[in-house]
Amino acid sequence: MKDKVVLITGGTSGIGRACAVAFGQAGARVVVTGRDEARLQDTARELAGLGISHHTVRADVGVATDSERAVQETIAAFGRLDVLLNNAGISMRARFQDVDLSVIERLMQTNFFGTVYTTKFALPHVLASKGSVVGISSIAGYRGLPGRTGYSASKFAMHGFLEALRTELLPQGVHVLLACPGFTASNIRQVALAADGSAQGESPRDEQKMMSSEEVAQHILNAVRHRRRDLVLTSQGKLTVFLNKWLPAITDKLVLSHFRKEEKDFEV
């Protein structure tokens, strides 16, 4: 990773921020985007304190012109782009029958179209470097999760997009990785959207029992180094993908039972 240039969307917290540190400590020059200026500055201070060459861009990936500007600023700052990490994303927690349609639209705009926009503008530069395009996805991209209809749909869409792109780019030497961390200790559940679009403000799970963002970031770094095509993390995540492929009807019942137990105040 020495002197490689890495653009990380949504890099001010959780997995994105941990990736900024991991890739930076591996020798990369890091560009981080985010919507919150205060969090961007806090991330910049951490990266500077670690001696990591970096640049921050205030941008919303769900806005095409913001995504284009993020790539332009990356090239202006460092002259090239080797790795794009499409990490920016939001989640939800509400039954479909209760959710406002604007919540579904917002998730698709950020999680799916944010990936499409940024990848579109980054691709000429990644082609030039024969680098990597990474989608930070979820087990929800393999298996629809109750209470997360919009989130699951957006991740399924991301999977289809990046799988097709990977196949298109095979002759051109570009690496495409789909990374699915499973449940990770981050702030994504606290800021997940409720049925009316407001932030949940709490997590329904014991975050301390989950894989840390830092550990996930190391796995993603290694997967990029070895140009892997898929990365599924945690034993629970791997088991869910396996069972859903071979025993889908049974998995329906297991997933529903699991979510009913863990979300006592949210019956699905």
Helix, coil or strand: residue 203 = coil
pLDDT value at position 186? 54
CA angle 102, 108, 113 (to 5 degrees): 130
pLDDT value at position 200? 61
Active site residues: 151
User: Tokens 């799916």 correspond to what residue?
Assistant: 112
pLDDT value at position 208? 56
Options 3.40.50.720, 3.10.129.10, 3.30.428.10, 3.40.640.10; CATH of 5-235: 3.40.50.720
Instruction: Please answer whether residues 50 and 28 qualify as being in contact, where contact means their C-beta atoms are separated by less than 8 angstroms.
Output: no
pLDDT value at position 259? 80
Instruction: Please answer whether residues 100 and 195 qualify as being in contact, where contact means their C-beta atoms are separated by less than 8 angstroms.
Output: yes
User: Tokens 């993908």 correspond to what residue?
Assistant: 241
| Residue 137, Cβ density class (10 Å: 0-12 exposed, 13-18 middle, ≥19 buried) | buried
The mean of the pLDDT values for the chain is 91
**Domain residue ranges of the chain, discontinuous segments joined by +:** 5-235
pLDDT value at position 197? 73
How far apart, in whole angstroms, are the C-alpha atoms of residue 265 and residue 242?
A: 29
Instruction: Please answer whether residues 183 and 236 qualify as being in contact, where contact means their C-beta atoms are separated by less than 8 angstroms.
Output: yes
Residues of the chain with pLDDT under 50: 189, 207, 268
- β-strands 5-8, 230-232 pairing: unpaired
pLDDT value at position 257? 86
Q: Using alpha carbons only, how large is the chain's radius of gyration in Å?
A: 18
pLDDT value at position 263? 64
Instruction: Please answer whether residues 86 and 134 qualify as being in contact, where contact means their C-beta atoms are separated by less than 8 angstroms.
Output: yes
How far apart, in whole angstroms, are the C-alpha atoms of residue 126 and residue 5?
A: 10
Instruction: Please answer whether residues 190 and 203 qualify as being in contact, where contact means their C-beta atoms are separated by less than 8 angstroms.
Output: yes
In Å, what is the CA distance from 17 to each residue of 108, 160, 240?
22, 26, 27
CA angle 192, 195, 201 (to 5 degrees): 35
| Residue 4, Cβ density class (10 Å: 0-12 exposed, 13-18 middle, ≥19 buried) | buried
In Å, what is the CA distance from 133 to each residue of 104, 174, 221?
25, 8, 12
Of 134, 35, 140, whose CA–CA distance to 92 is shortest?
140
pLDDT value at position 173? 96
CA angle 114, 234, 20 (to 5 degrees): 45
How far apart, in whole angstroms, are the C-alpha atoms of residue 27 and residue 150?
A: 37
Query: How far separated are the first and last CA of the chain, in Å rounded?
Result: 45
